[in-house]
Chain A
Amino acid sequence: MAAGRRDWLRPFGELPPRRRLTLGALAFLLPIGLWCLVSYVPFIWHPMIKVTDPGDVDWMSRDQTVEGDAFRTENQAVVARGGHVARGLPTNPVFLPAPHEVLRALVTGFTTSPARPDEPWLHEALLHSIGIIFWGFLISSLIGVPLGILCGALPSMARLTEPFIEFFRYLPAPAFGALAVAVLGINDAPKIAIIFIGTFFQQVLVVANTTRRLDPALLEAAQTLGAKPRQLLWRVVVPGIITDLFSDQRVLLGWAWTYLIVAELIGVSSGITFFINQQAKYRAYDRVFASIILIGLIGLFTDVILASIGRQIFPWARTARAGWFSQAMQMFKRRERPIPAAAVSTEITGEATTTVSASEVVS
Chain B
Amino acid sequence: MSANAGAPEAIANLLDYRAQTPEVADRFRKLKERPVILEVRGLVKDFAVRDGGTTRALDNVSFRAHRREIMCVIGPSGCGKSTVARILAGLEDATAGEVLLDGKQVHGPGPDRGMVFQGYTLFPWLTVTKNVMFGLELSGEHSSATAEEEARAWIQLVGLHKFADAYPHQLSGGMKQRVAIARALAPRPRILLMDEPFGALDAQTRAQMQSYLLQIWKQVDVTIIFITHDLDEAVYLADRILVLDAHPGRVRELMEVAVPRPRTPEQFVSPTFMAARGHLQELIHPPAAQAQDRIPMIRMTVVGDDVE
Residues of A within 8 A of B (CB): 215, 217-218, 220-228, 231, 235-236, 239-240, 242-243, 314-316, 318, 344-345, 347-349, 351, 354-355, 357-358, 360-362
The stretch among B24-32, B105-113, B286-294 that forms the contact with chain A is B105-113
Asked if B215 and A357 make an inter-chain contact with CB atoms under 8 angstroms apart, the answer reads no
Whether A236 lies near B123 (C-beta < 8 A) is yes
Write out the residue numbers on chain B whose beta carbons fall within 8 Å of the beta carbon of A221. Answer: 115, 117, 121, 123, 180
Q: Report chain B residues within 8 Å CB of A225.
A: 111, 114, 134-135, 138, 183-184, 187
Can you offer 18 A-B residue contacts whose CB atoms are under 8 A? A217-B119, A221-B115, A223-B91, A224-B110, A224-B113, A224-B115, A224-B193, A225-B134, A225-B135, A225-B187, A235-B134, A239-B123, A314-B125, A316-B169, A351-B172, A351-B174, A354-B175, A358-B215
Q: Which residue of chain A has its CB nearest to the CB of B201?
A: A351
Which A residues are in CB contact (< 8 Å) with B125? 239-240, 242-243, 314, 316
- Beyond A220-B91, A224-B115, A224-B184, list 20 extra A-B contacts (CB 8 Å): A215-B121, A220-B89, A220-B121, A222-B123, A224-B110, A224-B193, A225-B135, A225-B138, A226-B138, A228-B138, A236-B123, A239-B125, A239-B126, A316-B168, A316-B169, A351-B174, A355-B159, A357-B161, A361-B159, A362-B219
**Could you say which residues of chain A place their CB within 8 Å of the CB of B121?**
215, 217-218, 220-221
Query: CB distance A222 to B218 under 8 Å?
Result: no
Report B151-167 CB contacts with A as 1/0, cut-off 8 Å. 00000111111110011
The residues of A that contact B167 with a CB separation of less than 8 Å are 315-316
Minimum CB distance partner of B204 in chain A: A351
In the complex, the answer to whether A358 meets B212 with C-beta atoms within 8 Å is: yes
Q: Tell me if B159 and A354 are in contact (CB < 8 A).
A: yes
B135 touches A351 (CB 8 A): no
B215 touches A224 (CB 8 A): no
A175 to B175, CA, bound (A): 57
Pairwise interchain contact A226-B111, C-beta atoms closer than 8 A: yes
Tell me which of B114, B138, B159, B218 contacts A231 (CB under 8 A).
Answer: B138
Complex contacts, A224 vs chain B, CB 8 Å: 89-91, 109-111, 113-115, 184, 193
Contacting residues, chain B, for A348 (C-beta < 8 A) = 163, 166, 170-172, 175
Is B35 among interface residues, defined by CB-CB distance under 8 A? no
CA distance A235 to B133 in the complex (A): 12
CB-defined contacts of B124 to chain A, threshold 8 Å: 240, 316
Q: Are A226 and B123 in contact (CB under 8 A)?
A: no
Q: Which residue of B lies closest to A231 (CB)?
A: B138
| B109 contacts A223, C-beta separation under 8 Å | yes
Smallest beta-carbon distance A363→chain B, Å: 10
Closest to B92 in A: A220
Contact size class for B?
Answer: 35 or more
Task: Output the residue of B115, B134, B160, B205 with the most chain A CB within 10 A.
Answer: B134
- How far apart are the CA atoms of A239 and B124 in the complex, in Å? 9
Contact A357 B162 (CB under 8 A): yes
CB distance from B155 to the nearest CB of A (A): 10
- A227 is contacted by which of B138, B204, B208, B215 (Cβ under 8 Å)? B138
Is B143 an interface residue when CB atoms closer than 8 A count as contact? no
Are A226 and B139 in contact, with the CB atoms below 8 A? yes
Instruction: Give the interface centre of A215, A225, A239, A344 by most chain B CB atoms within 10 Å.
Output: A225
Contact of B187 among A223, A226, A347, A357 (CB under 8 A): A226
How far does the alpha carbon of A358 sit from the alpha carbon of B121 in the complex, in Å? 22
B184–A362 CB distance below 8 A: no
Nearest chain-A residue to B110 (Cβ)?
A: A226
Q: Are A217 and B117 interface neighbours, CB within 8 A? A: yes
B156 touching A361, Cβ below 8 Å: yes
User: Which residues of chain B have C-beta atoms less than 8 A from A223's C-beta?
Assistant: 90-91, 108-109
* Minimal Cβ-Cβ distance residue in A for B183: A225
The answer to whether B218 and A355 touch across the interface, beta carbons within 8 angstroms, is no
Residue interface bits B212-227, CB-to-A below 8 A is 1, else 0: 1001001100000000
**Residues of chain B with a CB closer than 8 A to A231's CB:** 138
Nearest CB of chain A from residue B147's CB, rounded to whole Å = 12
Min C-beta distance of B178 to chain A, whole Å: 8
In the bound complex, residues from chain B placing their C-beta under 8 Å from that of A354 are 159-160, 162, 175
Least distance between A362 CB and chain B CB atoms (Å): 4
Known: A226-B110, A226-B138, A351-B205. A360 touches B159 (CB 8 A): yes
Which chain B residues in 26-74 approach chain A with CB under 8 Å? Answer: none
CB pair B175 A222 closer than 8 Å: no
Point out the residues of chain B lying under 8 angstroms from A226, CB to CB.
Answer: 109-111, 135, 138-139, 187
- Among A236, A315, A348, A354, the one with the most B-chain Cβ atoms within 10 Å of its Cβ is A354
In B271-285, the 8 Å CB interface with A consists of none
CB distance from B211 to the nearest CB of A (A): 9
- CB-contacts of B91-145 with A (<8 A): 91, 108-111, 113-115, 117, 119, 121, 123-126, 134-135, 138-139
Find chain A residues with CB under 8 A from B180 CB: 221
- Within 8 Å CB of B159, what residues of A? 354-355, 357-358, 360-361
Q: Which 10 A-B pairs have the closest CB atoms?
A: A226-B111, A225-B135, A358-B159, A221-B121, A223-B109, A357-B159, A224-B115, A316-B167, A362-B215, A239-B125
